[in-house]
Amino acid sequence: MSARRVVVVGNGMAATRLVEELVSTGRGGPAQALHLTVLGDEDHPAYNRILLSAVLEGTYRLDALTLRAPEWYAEHGVDLRLGARVLGVDRERRDVMLVDGTVLPYDRLVLATGSIPSLPPIRGLVRLDGRLHEAVHAFRSLDDCLRLMEAIRPDQRAVVVGGGLLGLQVARALSVRGLDVEIVEGGEHLLRSQVGGPAGQVLARDLRRLGTTVYTGARAVRLSDTPSTSGGEGAVGLRLDNGYTLDTDLVVLTAGGRPSTALARGADLEVRRGIVVDDHLASVTDPDVFAIGDCAEHDGRTTGFVGPAWEQAALLARRLTDPDADATYTGSRSVARLRATGLDVAVLGDPERATADGGEVVEVTNPIVGSHRKLVLRDGVIVAATLVGDLSRIGLITQYFDHGTRLAGTEPAALLMGDRMAPPARLADDAEICACAGVSAGRIRACSSLDEVRATTRATTGCGGCSSSVAQVLASRPALTAAP
């Protein structure tokens, strides 16, 4: 049987995980060995895209992002082509044509094309020649990140357009780099697609405390090459629909992305928001074409998170190596975490939707310390949550969320409150002080000195952990009153 040819379009996090899974499962053994080709349109080897803002911030070295070096693909017999742009897919002939004219036949095609940043409708954003204005930066790829890092200087001003997760991360990164940063968000509050108003307001206050100005309910409408005031500090002016014009040196666009579906459309695959796939992640139009990650739409949903992308990749790897595998994709539980210095945010599932769908809500807002925490439960199971400003219980809440643990009625509130402080213990005579030697407080009270304790009870001579307790018990002995 000839090798089955699998062509993967895309070299992002979903594609990389798929290839890793295929390599680690031995690709189903020699009898059904797959010949794998990976086409990445970027020139860089696969990297961890979600950490780009940490590189921008300066807390990560760039080389720490590389997921797999090209040599790894070679060692495992995978044909990796970087800088390979796909021109089109011919489903009749079952091949893929690259921009340079190369034609690659496939038996199975995987589209892992990710998403592309959307351009907000701001006049002046795009030059007549179709390129972005030089003060404007997208923030999606490693090249975007490098170009932005090249452009920034600590005394500059920057406006981040978009108050979602990426926008906040980029804004914080630029602040940490010493820039004066403003955020423009069209919605009524920050992180509007993830959290409700109270959480967004806590976040805005945090950001202001950190020196970042936040404009919500405001849209940028026009970019002009001159600042609003003569002698203004920035190089450009960004006009908002509320009449303000922000003078700035840089504009960073983080206002969301959309699934990259041009190839799929060109190949006449069914596309709504994303490439529509069934429970086996196959296109509903063509069972030999699959889509995973940000570009895929399953059950009416697209996601922008790596968790679901990896689950899809693992499932598809099983499917490709064993077509009889009955593994089906049923959706993922996602946890969105903000990666930004000084801001603590976690969003589990979709709290707003879960609330609207009738979930029971337990929430605590503490404006004094700047925290907002909300659990949405259904039948005692946490189905969504928002945690802002206080993540002390996140390691437990995410476990309950992921495992679908059924909680008792009192637990959600207990999870959101701090640990009850134990009252200071008054040691009873039979309380054990020294576990090594098995010595009670009473026996220590019967001694008059540490030396006597050591000699008669052996307390403190084992691990020594009770030394301070023994000293306390000795010090609190009732004084023996001398006879008159």
Q: Where does this chain bind another protein (CB under 8 A)?
A: 24, 48, 50-51, 54, 59-61, 64-69, 72, 335, 337, 339, 344, 391-392, 394-396, 398-400, 402-408, 410-411, 414-415, 419-420, 422, 435-438, 458, 461-465
The Cα-based distances of 360 to 90, 351, 383, 407 in angstroms read 50, 11, 10, 13
Q: How far is the CB of 68 from another protein (least distance, A)?
A: 6
Say which DSSP state 271 is in: B
Nearer residue to another protein within complex by CB, 51 or 375: 51
Q: In sequence order, which ranges of 221-350 are alpha helices (DSSP H)?
A: 262-266, 306-321
Q: How far is the CB of 93 from another protein (least distance, A)?
A: 36
Q: Residue 209 contacts by C-beta under 8 Å, 6 or more apart in sequence?
A: 370
Of 242, 251, 241, 185, whose CA–CA distance to 214 is shortest?
185
SS3 395: helix
Q: How far is the CB of 136 from another protein (least distance, A)?
A: 28
Rounded to whole angstroms, the Cα distance separating 260 from 242 reads 32
Nearer residue to another protein within complex by CB, 136 or 416: 416
Rounded to 10 degrees, the C-alpha dihedral 318/321/326/330 comes to: 30
Rounded to whole angstroms, the Cα distance separating 323 from 336 reads 32
Q: How far is the CB of 215 from another protein (least distance, A)?
A: 28
| Residues shown for the chain | 484
Nearer residue to another protein within complex by CB, 68 or 172: 68
Q: Return the H-helix or E-strand segment holding 57.
A: helix 52-57
Nearer residue to another protein within complex by CB, 50 or 98: 50
Nearer residue to another protein within complex by CB, 290 or 310: 310
The Cα-based distances of 220 to 40, 158, 231, 253 in angstroms read 33, 14, 22, 11
Lookup: tokens for 75: 């060692």
Nearer residue to another protein within complex by CB, 76 or 280: 76
Rounded to whole angstroms, the Cα distance separating 219 from 255 reads 11
Nearer residue to another protein within complex by CB, 9 or 54: 54
Nearer residue to another protein within complex by CB, 26 or 465: 465
Is 1 within 8 Å of 45 (Cβ atoms)?
no
Rounded to whole angstroms, the Cα distance separating 461 from 469 reads 13
Nearer residue to another protein within complex by CB, 142 or 250: 142
Lookup: tokens for 150: 């090249």
Q: How far is the CB of 358 from another protein (least distance, A)?
A: 22
Q: How far is the CB of 444 from another protein (least distance, A)?
A: 15
Q: How far is the CB of 463 from another protein (least distance, A)?
A: 3
What's the one-letter identity of residue 309?
Answer: A
Q: How far is the CB of 391 from another protein (least distance, A)?
A: 6
Q: Return the H-helix or E-strand segment holding 439.
A: strand 439-440
Cα 16 versus chain centre, distance: 17
Q: 320 exposed, middle or buried (CB, 10 Å; 0-12, 13-18, 19+)?
A: buried
Q: How far is the CB of 161 from another protein (least distance, A)?
A: 24
Say which DSSP state 126 is in: B
Nearer residue to another protein within complex by CB, 301 or 403: 403
Q: How far is the CB of 154 from another protein (least distance, A)?
A: 21
Q: How far is the CB of 474 from another protein (least distance, A)?
A: 19
Nearer residue to another protein within complex by CB, 223 or 473: 473
Q: In sequence order, which ranges of 218-329 are alpha helices (DSSP H)?
A: 262-266, 306-321
Lookup: tokens for 128: 């007549």
